[in-house]
Structure 1
Amino acid sequence: MKNSIAERVNDFLKNHPPFNILKADDLLEISRQVSIIYLEKDDTLFKKGDTFNEHFYMVRNGAITSFHTDSNNVQEIVNISDAGDIFGVRPLIAKEDYKLTATANEESIVYAIPINIFQAVTQNNASVYKFLITAFATNAYDPYTAEETGKIFADYLPNTSQDIVSFQTANYSKNPITCNLNSSLKEAAIKMSTYKIGCIIVVNDNTHPVGIITNSDIKNKIATGLFPIETPVTNIMTSPVITDKKDLTVADGQLQMIKHNIGHLCITKDGTVNSKLVGVLTHHDVLVTLGNNPSVILKEIKRAKRTKKLRTARLKANTLLKSYLEQNIPISHIVKIISQINDTVTARAIEIALKKMPMPPPVSFSWMSIGSQGRKEQLLFTDQDNAIIFEDVTEKNYEETKTYFLELAKLVTKSLNKIGFEYCKADMMASKTEWCKSLTEWKLQFDDWISNPDEKAILLSSIFFDYSTVYGNNSLVDELSDSIYKSLEQSSLFFKFLGRDALKNPPPLGFFKQFFVEENGEQKDLFNIKSRALMPLIDAARLLILSHNIKGINNTSERFEKMAEIEPNNKELYQSCSYAFKALLKFKTKQGLLHNNSGKFIKLETLTKEEKLKLKRCFKPIKEIQETLKIRFDLKNFM
């Protein structure tokens, strides 16, 4: 006689990883042993400190929240598992007591999968364990699991996945060779030769790192005759050094090196330059651990001399993106990697364009990315939004200077278009006269937008508030930011206009919990995930962070996380918004890769019931944050 319950379990499991890669007989064997657990809202499945049991879990319906509780009984949400997501895999991986608490976010049904049966049928299946370990690394509470995660990776996946290895603790040199501030370069060079090393760290009397000398420094500054061999090390060392903490992951070290364009990272006791040097992580250490990785793509970009080569390198990032999503790598890490690649592509396009110009830039300038790239949220090829700010010049030289930068911008935007970033349909590009201005003109432009808000001013300023420097003089952008925040202090009305704009798209569900879709045009009956779900969160985060006068945080999820930090009373709401945004961005990106487009418009009938439920769950914070904005900025009578 057939076991109909087991068959229903089997029908569900076979559509979700890692069960979708099992043999049919093995999956059915597991399905026969699965227990079904029903949970009311707020019911607890297991608590932090509980002895591990003999199951791990998958959500069938509903959602399960995993959170960490600190010594002050403050809860922090680590993850929300939806239908098809696995959780509670610590007993399977580490055989340790639970370090998180799992409760039902709503009425839920959970499948409890027996570990002994699962291990018996999946023995030696590297693909299955690769997925489970990724899930463990993604959901683990990092401050408490970094060390053990590294051990787990080493035990289970010695060489199976460079991406998973990214999350293990970096293997740096524990006994760095040093010299003191009073040493001569000759003394330092003798040490480097004796120990056969490529760099030496300069430390003060407290063994705090103050500088670094590499073989390149000796070649460029001594061999060229710039300094004599007996010169003090302080004359040729690079200072200050870049530092990090002892338990940094390979991915952390890699990002630091990418960000600061360095090959050596000093490891100190507390992660700052004000504590004892304990090690050195080199670019070679990272490459040995990772093999092929984003650094290879970045190196290819930096060496490219033609647009065609840049396009080839950027296309590799799409393959990397797809791989990361398939392996469930945290979206926050994916965003950082792809954003860095996008910025490096743009910077290299600018360098290539500068070589084609008849003369060097007449004054210093900064190329700014705005919109999604400015927020570090551009994962797929979308249209380009950018601007140029150049140093003030005399009125006599202004037009000539501006003409130079407009010509430069035309070369750059043309190159970016060939790489795959379409021209902006609204012409918000540095090649257009409105978006290529001197520092003073940009200050006046923003002051006008803020002091005289109207529909157009709000639209334009909203896009341009999300900017970041990609190439050139950072101080110009810093000075512009100071001017903008000074103007904001004088205009409470502007925040009301921003607030009204943030409410223009209501929560994406109707009265009967049906999706709001496009009503006419080419996109009729399609769901616009960007306008109806992502933009309300983007607009809300921008308004809140600006109202708190917080500079330098442009990413939407990071803005919400900062708000959770400075407004603990609303911490749960802001964390929910941050989580929802990342989940929606991930969903949009997957749709874009699946259909080879931007992922902006979604045909709802192609989604499974579970996918629709996941989307709807992300809409709840939108409604709550918009209600908060209405009250905080007194918008009820301003609509």
Structure 2
Amino acid sequence: MSSELTEIKTFIQATNPLDLLPEPILEKLIKQVQICYVRCDETLPPQGITDPSLYVIRKGTLSVIKNNQELIEKLAEGDICSVFCSQDAVSNTLVKADEDTLIYAISFSSLLEICVEHPHVGAFFTKPAAERLSDQVSKINEQEVVSSTLMNRSIGDFFSSPAVTIEETTSLQSAAMIMTERNFSSLLIIRDKALVGIVTDKDFRCRGLAKGLTLSAPVSDIMTADVQMIDVNASAYEALIKMNSRGIHHLPVSRKGQLAGMVTITDLMRQESLSSVNVSSMIAKAKDVTELSHISDLLPKLQVSMAKLGTSASSVGKTMSAIADAFTCKLIELAKAHLGDEPVPFVWVSAGSQARQEQMVSSDQDNALIIDDSLQEQHRPWFTQLAQFVCDGLAQCGYPYCPGDVMASNQKWRQTQAVWHKYFTQWIDKPDPKALMHCSIFFDMRSVYGKESLLEDVRQKMLKKTQGNTLFLAHLSANAIKLRPPLGFFRDFVLTDNGKHKNTLDLKHNGIAPVVDLARIYALSEGIEEVNTLKRLTQAMGTSSLTQGSGKSLFSAFEFLTMSKVKHQAKQLLEGEETDCFISPNALSKLDREHLKDAFKVIKEMQSVRQTTYG
């Protein structure tokens, strides 16, 4: 091989994704290279090149301009220009040399012919960034070895339907006969067709026989009231975690808000035993905060284990959030054991990443209390003590106090439903910077313990005010696009330039958070109740706020970024370091760097659309 070809080969070998080709294939490809010289201000393709071709920049810089005015990107030494791989793709795109530039041209048809056994190489150049990213996420998902098949299956695969119900006036004897005849361990109790309770074998023993009730007594005397349902589309894993954390074995299932059936812990546990479920079971059995604190030491190992198994970032987030819910529920129960039952109804809500079910190890607390409007002044000390006990307990279990004091222990976030209505009204009607900061936290809330309708009423009124509210959405959009993806014009990353994390990428603030913000805006625009980012994107797709294609691109970008975060944090946990979201590009493979650029490019484009929409 001549010295000239050797130099070309050395350069091409360092260019992604051509560096993935085997040596014999690469040598064939090198022989097809044409060396071209483009003078400053001249446009591509170079003189004499008529076939669709791929261009590798050896020296110099190129500008890629769309619609004769919009600068899309700049390409420099080592970059590849794939604009001219297809004749159809160049009608509105101009590529111009910013200085005298030396490039290597490769006929695209020759590339495909030589790389016929490596179709992913050709596909890399013909597919847009969003599609490349989607393909990569699909590959990762295919490789996922989830610790539980329950994560990927809905309750619809397990529950019994239709629901067997009896009226609350039914006698104990009649109820027992029905359970015996049908070999059921529980029955659902209704009043005027509405679910009001559940009765189980244990209730007959502990509340019926043990207390000497007569067989003619109504079943309402022994039933458990205020039963919570779970939607048929929820994951079976979520149901299992919920039952373990609350120490129950039966969970009514709803479809579109209506009672549809029942799922039992036996239905789910016969499938498999999960380490994360075991953690939740340990939490439910803990006797004090010290014991809970010891259990929390298992969480870093659990997150590392899931990362090693290839568990998706979405599943990791749901698992860690469910465990945080379990800790919270147990702490509330421990508090009530000392304080007595609540004087009026309340709901403990999580906010931020826990509410969105996207939490990881060492995430800060974000929580609040919504209390029934029947609250009297003499009741406040009970809720003050509850909040302080739970927040302190969570801190002991590895969930740091919120630096901004967004916790139920702060009286401002421990208020009646009426006050919460006022909060949201003020934030929406007067969206100043502080209000917008609160929106980014409290517009993502989820019930963890207590009377869920207290939160749902607040959410419904809030969504009525935000849907179609162009002034508020404009302010929210302007605030959301302040966090920009770290991409420079030269298709390279813009790295942090000072402090502890110098020369790294901030995945959280410059990648993940912008998608979370966009998904929240789409949800508020369309009146979507969901708070999980991927579910928000899914439900918003096809609406006036988000096209199907753009939604899928953002979905893939979010999955890839969160997967990168999970892998990064697993490595830190294994090395005994504190977790963060700062990644050095040098620690990534060349291909992962390209996919990361694709993800940032998708986000940048969607932020531009948002900016255009609301100026």
TM-score, length-normalised on structure 1?
0.66
Please tell me whether the aligned partners of residues 59 and 86 of structure 1 are also in contact (alpha carbons under 8 angstroms).
no
Counterparts in 2 of 1:227 and 1:65: CA distance versus 1, 3 Å:
farther
Which runs of no fewer than 5 residues in structure 1 stay unpaired?
Answer: 17-29, 44-54, 67-75, 88-133, 139-160
Hey, what does 2:588 align to over in structure 1? 607
Hey, what does 1:163 align to over in structure 2? 148
Does residue 302 of structure 1 match 2:284?
yes
Residue from 197, 219, 223 that aligns with 2:205: 219
Taking the aligned partners of 1:189 and 1:518, their CA distance within structure 2 comes to 68
Taking the aligned partners of 1:556 and 1:377, their CA distance within structure 2 comes to 8
Taking the aligned partners of 1:176 and 1:440, their CA distance within structure 2 comes to 38
User: What SS is found at the alignment partner of 1:522?
Assistant: coil
Please tell me whether the aligned partners of residues 124 and 132 of structure 2 are also in contact (alpha carbons under 8 angstroms).
no
Please tell me whether the aligned partners of residues 179 and 187 of structure 2 are also in contact (alpha carbons under 8 angstroms).
no
What's the offset of the Cα at 1:248? 10
Counterparts in 2 of 1:590 and 1:264: CA distance versus 1, 3 Å:
same
1:216 corresponds to which letter in structure 2?
K
Counterparts in 2 of 1:86 and 1:32: CA distance versus 1, 3 Å:
farther
Counterparts in 2 of 1:527 and 1:243: CA distance versus 1, 3 Å:
closer
Percent of residue pairs identical? 27
What's the offset of the Cα at 1:577? 0.9
What's the offset of the Cα at 1:539? 1.0
Greater length-normalized contact order (CA 8 Å, ≥ 6 residues apart): 2
Show the 5 A alignment for 1:68-87. Answer: 80-82=134-136
Residue from 295, 300, 304 that aligns with 1:313: 295
Larger radius of gyration: 2
2:557 corresponds to which letter in structure 1?
A
Taking the aligned partners of 1:169 and 1:465, their CA distance within structure 2 comes to 26
Taking the aligned partners of 2:336 and 2:268, their CA distance within structure 1 comes to 32
Hey, what does 1:158 align to over in structure 2? none
Q: Show CA shifts across 1:153-209 (max 9, x none).
A: xxxxxxxx86358658999699999898898643653575688x56166799xxxx9
Residue from 456, 471, 479 that aligns with 2:457: 479
Hey, what does 2:383 align to over in structure 1? 405
Does residue 590 of structure 1 match 2:567?
yes
Hey, what does 2:532 align to over in structure 1? 555
Q: Show CA shifts across 1:195-230 (max 9, x none).
A: 8x56166799xxxx9997531132244314575324
Please tell me whether the aligned partners of residues 240 and 268 of structure 2 are also in contact (alpha carbons under 8 angstroms).
yes
What's the offset of the Cα at 1:370? 1.4
Counterparts in 2 of 1:599 and 1:62: CA distance versus 1, 3 Å:
farther
Counterparts in 2 of 1:616 and 1:474: CA distance versus 1, 3 Å:
same
User: What SS is found at the alignment partner of 1:619?
Assistant: helix
Does residue 283 of structure 1 match 2:265?
yes
2:310 corresponds to which letter in structure 1?
N
Taking the aligned partners of 1:176 and 1:252, their CA distance within structure 2 comes to 21
Q: Show CA shifts across 1:254-285 (max 9, x none).
A: 367569975246899x999788x8xx754234
What's the offset of the Cα at 1:455? 1.4
1:163 corresponds to which letter in structure 2?
S
Hey, what does 1:516 align to over in structure 2? 494
Does residue 263 of structure 1 match 2:249?
yes
2:552 corresponds to which letter in structure 1?
Q
User: What SS is found at the alignment partner of 2:565?
Assistant: helix
1:459 corresponds to which letter in structure 2?
M
Does residue 391 of structure 1 match 2:378?
no
Q: Show CA shifts across 1:283-307 (max 9, x none).
A: 2343333134433221211121222
User: What SS is found at the alignment partner of 1:229?
Assistant: coil
Taking the aligned partners of 1:618 and 1:530, their CA distance within structure 2 comes to 13
Counterparts in 2 of 1:468 and 1:187: CA distance versus 1, 3 Å:
closer
Residue from 357, 374, 392 that aligns with 2:355: 374
Q: Show CA shifts across 1:478-515 (max 9, x none).
A: 23223433443695322211010111022321101221
Please tell me whether the aligned partners of residues 151 and 315 of structure 2 are also in contact (alpha carbons under 8 angstroms).
no
Moved more, 484-493 or 445-454: 484-493
1:515 corresponds to which letter in structure 2?
F
What's the offset of the Cα at 1:453? 1.9
Please tell me whether the aligned partners of residues 355 and 445 of structure 2 are also in contact (alpha carbons under 8 angstroms).
yes
Show the 5 A alignment for 1:424-435. Answer: 424-435=402-413
User: What SS is found at the alignment partner of 1:294?
Assistant: helix
* Number of positions where the alignment pairs a residue of Structure 1 with one of Structure 2: 506
Residue from 419, 442, 451 that aligns with 1:441: 419
Taking the aligned partners of 1:64 and 1:297, their CA distance within structure 2 comes to 46
Hey, what does 2:99 align to over in structure 1? none
Counterparts in 2 of 1:191 and 1:135: CA distance versus 1, 3 Å:
same
Hey, what does 1:186 align to over in structure 2? 173
2:451 corresponds to which letter in structure 1?
N
Taking the aligned partners of 1:443 and 1:564, their CA distance within structure 2 comes to 29
Hey, what does 1:345 align to over in structure 2? 327
Hey, what does 1:493 align to over in structure 2? 471
Which runs of no fewer than 5 residues in structure 2 stay unpaired?
Answer: 1-8, 30-53, 55-81, 89-115
Hey, what does 1:323 align to over in structure 2? 305
TM-score, length-normalised on structure 2?
0.68
Counterparts in 2 of 1:212 and 1:31: CA distance versus 1, 3 Å:
farther
Residue from 615, 619, 627 that aligns with 2:600: 619
Taking the aligned partners of 2:161 and 2:525, their CA distance within structure 1 comes to 48
User: What SS is found at the alignment partner of 2:610?
Assistant: helix
Taking the aligned partners of 2:456 and 2:431, their CA distance within structure 1 comes to 23
What's the offset of the Cα at 1:61? 8.8
User: What SS is found at the alignment partner of 1:81?
Assistant: helix
Counterparts in 2 of 1:273 and 1:563: CA distance versus 1, 3 Å:
closer
What's the offset of the Cα at 1:345? 0.9
Does residue 578 of structure 1 match 2:555?
yes
1:617 corresponds to which letter in structure 2?
D
What's the offset of the Cα at 1:571? 0.6
Counterparts in 2 of 1:82 and 1:214: CA distance versus 1, 3 Å:
same
User: What SS is found at the alignment partner of 1:222?
Assistant: helix
Taking the aligned partners of 1:382 and 1:628, their CA distance within structure 2 comes to 31
Hey, what does 1:422 align to over in structure 2? 400
Please tell me whether the aligned partners of residues 137 and 167 of structure 1 are also in contact (alpha carbons under 8 angstroms).
no
Taking the aligned partners of 2:447 and 2:154, their CA distance within structure 1 comes to 31
Taking the aligned partners of 1:536 and 1:216, their CA distance within structure 2 comes to 49
Please tell me whether the aligned partners of residues 241 and 277 of structure 2 are also in contact (alpha carbons under 8 angstroms).
no
Please tell me whether the aligned partners of residues 573 and 624 of structure 1 are also in contact (alpha carbons under 8 angstroms).
no
Does residue 532 of structure 1 match 2:510?
yes
What's the offset of the Cα at 1:609? 1.7
Please tell me whether the aligned partners of residues 541 and 560 of structure 1 are also in contact (alpha carbons under 8 angstroms).
yes
Counterparts in 2 of 1:175 and 1:404: CA distance versus 1, 3 Å:
closer
Please tell me whether the aligned partners of residues 402 and 437 of structure 1 are also in contact (alpha carbons under 8 angstroms).
no
Please tell me whether the aligned partners of residues 464 and 527 of structure 2 are also in contact (alpha carbons under 8 angstroms).
no
Counterparts in 2 of 1:405 and 1:187: CA distance versus 1, 3 Å:
closer
Taking the aligned partners of 1:378 and 1:292, their CA distance within structure 2 comes to 19
Hey, what does 1:149 align to over in structure 2? none
Residue from 121, 135, 139 that aligns with 2:142: 135
Counterparts in 2 of 1:460 and 1:616: CA distance versus 1, 3 Å:
same
